[in-house]
Amino acid sequence: MTTIPQTRRLWVAFVAALVMASPATAQDKKENKPDVNEATEKAMKTASAHVAPSVVKIETAGGAEVIPVKKGAPGGIRKGVGPTTGMIVSSDGYIITSSFNFAHKPTDIFVTIPGKPQRLVAKIVASDQTRMLTLIKVDAKDLPVPTAFPKKDVEVGQWGLSLGRTLDNNVDHPPSMSIGIVSATNRIWGKAIQTDAKTSPVNYGGPLIAIDGRVFGVIVPASNRAEGETAGVDVYDGGIGFAVPLEDIFSVIPRLKEGKDLKRGLLGISPQGADVYNSAPVIGAIQPDSAAARAGMQVGDKILEVNGKKIPNYSTLQHVLGPLYEGDELVVKVMRGDKEIEFKGVKLHGTTTAYVNAFLGVLPIRDDPGPGVEIRYVYAKSPADTAGLKAGDRIMKFGPANRPAPSPVPNRAALMTMLQRLSPGVEVKIEVKRKGADKVETVTTKLIAMPNDLPDSLPQPSTAGKALEGQPKPKDPLPKKDPFPKKPPEEEESNCQDKKDEKTKVETGYMTRTNQALGREYWIFVPDNYDPNVSHGLIVWFHPAGQGGKDGEKMAKTFREFAEENHFIIMGPKSANNEGWVASETELVMQDVKSVLGQYTIDRTRVVAHGMANGGQMAFYVGFNARDVFRGVATVGATLGTAPKDNVANQPLSFFITAGDKDPILKDIVQSKDLLAEKRFPVIFREMKESGKEYFDLKTFNDFKVWVDSLDRI
């Protein structure tokens, strides 16, 4: 006779109850027949009771008072004084929980287990750094371990119950429960189940369970954009939560028990374009000494398959790589030109060597259709200076000196791409056409790392004023010939021209705009001398907390002269939260930014996120999480909050960080600068004397002007 496991019996009983139940009538109640609601409630209570003995209370002591959160969130999260949650995963005292519960680095950890009279001291064994889970150990035996719900059987729409241990001092009481459903699977790049059941710091580390008492997974804060133990905390009340499948956790428990932290497996590549969902997965950049670099992959390779799975876009690649760990091996098939190449035994790394921006030492003239790149300025003691390049010279060809001949340089963007594929120390060959002559010379020089210094000033003009040259002309919306003219042809032609002029006229000055669909406002300042044939930089200002965009006219006045001389447009989104910017506003802000990008001629190498205090934190966050748009981040009196992402070759990001010498958080700001320097980002740091939390002083503002006008240096 076949027996049914207890959890299966619970599920069968529940389904039977639902099938047999109907809306309760007076007769049903008289005969004590259960209705659907009663059956559901009973099944949920039974499921909770089944797993409750495995749900433990975790309390901590000591550590930091404030946990830094993601860039863009106001301040940080104050260390909770209440308990958090964990779940037993091994009968000999091993407990899994969210790494968030130890983000404040406590000195002591205590665990209370249902049925045990006293708190037990726990120690951290190891962490899963990609799923943000931590394994802890207490001295106990014969503990109950829950049953995992198979990943293959998880379906959208199934009941999902999130359990946690709250302020109830008696852990023998039922855990707190929030009811929802499984709303998605394979989320957070293939690492998590999504639910609309309530998740928060109270039940981070607790189980998300099915109606039959089996465990879907362990609840953690998570985010597609950010990484780290606090990633996703800022949106815990946003209606969705995440749980790491228990089946996946059980598979790595033996490795964690050995005391080995598990790191995310990294291939070490970046996509060629910004659209990871629709574009082909072409490699745009490769980190030095990464798994991809060691395997022999090259920029421009199109990834076809990974471990036999077709890769139609970069998003699919992220889902395939997301669940993997350091040391896991892959078979990668790529298309290089018209040839398929297969790389076997590609071992993923847990860290990547920081990419270092190579520097030639020239600032190009903008809006120059080419061919070649005209030099606007040569940096002193740079490789270009050493090679004898001068302002007005035109770089016609460029490439590594160990190749037969340098490659033609069509324009500025092409030269930037060529340089991004090289490293400091590489010797290059340059074919240059001298200013005012047809003479062409070939010189060699050795690239260096991007320096962290600025010249006192930069020469004008900065542009050739031909940004629209070679661009497709818009179609004339007016018919070429009206078969039924109402006016004489000469008058009609005059009217048409008036309409064209009116259509192409660009409004300048300070303006306030409203996104009617979202109910959001932003301000924008366009200099009066705006010319669509001159590409303009864009500075996106993130106001401090409480300003609500009220400083727009003041900022426009501050930047007016600079914007006219250096061709910049300034805009300022408005936060909906009076207490300060939050990371969840990023997508809305980017809609405003992209609206401006689409309306004006914008130089994409000079788009900057700029902010002060909480607005500076938001600038950091947006800069890192919209790297397809931003090329610079400038902050005043702001900290990173968490460790920065890696420097990426084809999405370069530069920083201008300032602080007053009397700012109480000066030490933290300096630490943020150091973290960026460790990742080998170009960083300019200025400490303003006799200043607290004020905006730029005159000297710092002048340095900022030079920095933002030289973001396209090569």
Q: What is the pLDDT of residues 236-286, one digit of tens each?
A: 555 789 999 999 999 999 999 999 899 999 998 888 877 788 889 998 888
Single-letter residue type at 287: Q
List the chain domain ranges. Answer: 6-49, 51-257, 269-347, 360-449, 506-708
The CATH architecture one would assign to domain 269-347 is Roll (2.30)
- DSSP-derived 3-state class of residue 161: strand
Cα-Cα-Cα-Cα dihedral sign, residues 572, 575, 580, 585: negative
How much is the pLDDT for 490? 46
Q: At what angle do helices 614-625 and 586-599 cross, to 10 degrees?
A: 70
Q: Name the class of domain 506-708.
A: alpha beta
How much is the pLDDT for 20? 42
How much is the pLDDT for 21? 42
> How far is residue 487's CA from residue 235's CA, in Å, rounded to a whole number?
62
Are 610 and 635 in contact by the 8 Å Cβ rule? The answer is yes
Tokens found for residue 526: 């366009």
Single-letter residue type at 389: L
How much is the pLDDT for 32? 59
C-alpha distances (whole Å) from 570 to each of 124, 487, 540 are 49, 44, 6
Question: If you write DSSP's letter for every residue of 585-597 in order, what string do you get?
Answer: GHHHHHHHHHHHH
Contacts of 159 (CB under 8 A, 6+ apart): 44, 179, 180, 181, 182, 210, 211
The CA-to-CA distance between both ends of the chain, in Å, stands at: 77
Are 172 and 271 in contact by the 8 Å Cβ rule? The answer is no
User: 541 versus 486: which is more confidently predicted?
Assistant: 541
The β-bridge partners of 89 are none
C-alpha distances (whole Å) from 562 to each of 29, 460, 544 are 79, 13, 22
Tokens found for residue 399: 């490439």
User: 407 versus 169: which is more confidently predicted?
Assistant: 407
User: 584 versus 261: which is more confidently predicted?
Assistant: 261
Q: Mean pLDDT, to the nearest integer, of 334-353?
A: 91
> How far is residue 266's CA from residue 103's CA, in Å, rounded to a whole number?
23
Q: What is the pLDDT of residues 187-217, one digit of tens each?
A: 988 899 999 999 988 899 999 999 999 999 9
> How far is residue 128's CA from residue 136's CA, in Å, rounded to a whole number?
12
Q: What is the pLDDT of residues 174-184, one digit of tens each?
A: 999 999 999 99
Q: How confident is the model at residue 227 (pLDDT cuts 50, 70, 90)?
A: low
Q: How confident is the model at residue 499 (pLDDT cuts 50, 70, 90)?
A: very low
How much is the pLDDT for 238? 59
> How far is residue 135's CA from residue 122's CA, in Å, rounded to a whole number?
10
Buried b (16+ CB within 10 A) or exposed e, 451-482: eeebeeebeeebbbbbbbeeeeeeeeeeeeee
- The arrangement of strands across the sheet holding 568-573 comes to 509-515, 520-526, 568-573, 536-542, 602-612, 632-636, 654-660, 683-688
Which helix (H) or strand (E) covers residue 672, if one does?
helix 666-678
How much is the pLDDT for 17? 43
| pTM, entire model | 0.70
User: 35 versus 400: which is more confidently predicted?
Assistant: 400
C-alpha distances (whole Å) from 677 to each of 108, 535, 655, 685 are 33, 30, 10, 11
Q: How confident is the model at residue 114 (pLDDT cuts 50, 70, 90)?
A: very high
> How far is residue 244's CA from residue 425's CA, in Å, rounded to a whole number?
44
How much is the pLDDT for 364? 97
User: 693 versus 33: which is more confidently predicted?
Assistant: 693
Q: Is the pLDDT of residue 479 over 70?
A: no
Averaged pLDDT score across all residues of the chain: 85
Question: If you write DSSP's letter for every residue of 171-228 in order, what string do you get?
Answer: TTSPPEEEEEEEEEEEHHHHTEEEE-S---TTTTTSEEE-TTS-EEEEEE---SS--S
Are 407 and 475 in contact by the 8 Å Cβ rule? The answer is no
Q: Is the pLDDT of residue 33 over 80?
A: no
> How far is residue 68's CA from residue 34's CA, in Å, rounded to a whole number?
50
Tokens found for residue 422: 């090289």
Q: Is the pLDDT of residue 585 over 80?
A: yes
Q: At what angle do helices 36-51 and 6-20 cross, to 10 degrees?
A: 170
> How far is residue 508's CA from residue 510's CA, in Å, rounded to a whole number?
7
In the CATH scheme, what is the code of domain 51-257?
2.40.10.120
Q: Mean pLDDT, to the nearest integer, of 283-298?
A: 88
How much is the pLDDT for 215? 97
How much is the pLDDT for 495? 45
Topology agreement, domain 269-347 and domain 360-449: yes
Most confident of 171-175, 433-437, 539-543, 664-668: 539-543
Residue matched to tokens 């409480």: 546
Q: Mean pLDDT, to the nearest integer, of 299-327?
A: 93
How much is the pLDDT for 375? 97
> How far is residue 370's CA from residue 413's CA, in Å, rounded to a whole number?
11
Q: Mean pLDDT, to the nearest integer, of 647-674?
A: 92
How much is the pLDDT for 579? 80
> How far is residue 219's CA from residue 163's CA, in Å, rounded to a whole number?
9
> How far is residue 162's CA from residue 218's CA, in Å, rounded to a whole number?
9
Tally of CA atoms within 13 A in the half-sphere of 510 that contains its CB = 11
Least confident of 24-33, 210-219, 332-341, 603-612: 24-33
Percentage of residues of the chain with pLDDT beyond 70: 85
> How far is residue 119's CA from residue 98's CA, in Å, rounded to a whole number?
19
Which helix (H) or strand (E) covers residue 624, if one does?
helix 614-625
In the CATH scheme, what is the code of domain 360-449?
2.30.42.10
Residue 371: is the preceding peptide bond cis (ω within 30°)? yes
> How far is residue 636's CA from residue 655's CA, in Å, rounded to a whole number?
11
> How far is residue 99's CA from residue 499's CA, in Å, rounded to a whole number?
62
> How far is residue 213's CA from residue 674's CA, in Å, rounded to a whole number?
48
Tokens found for residue 398: 């460029």
How much is the pLDDT for 19? 42
Q: Mean pLDDT, to the nearest integer, of 579-606?
A: 90
How much is the pLDDT for 312? 94
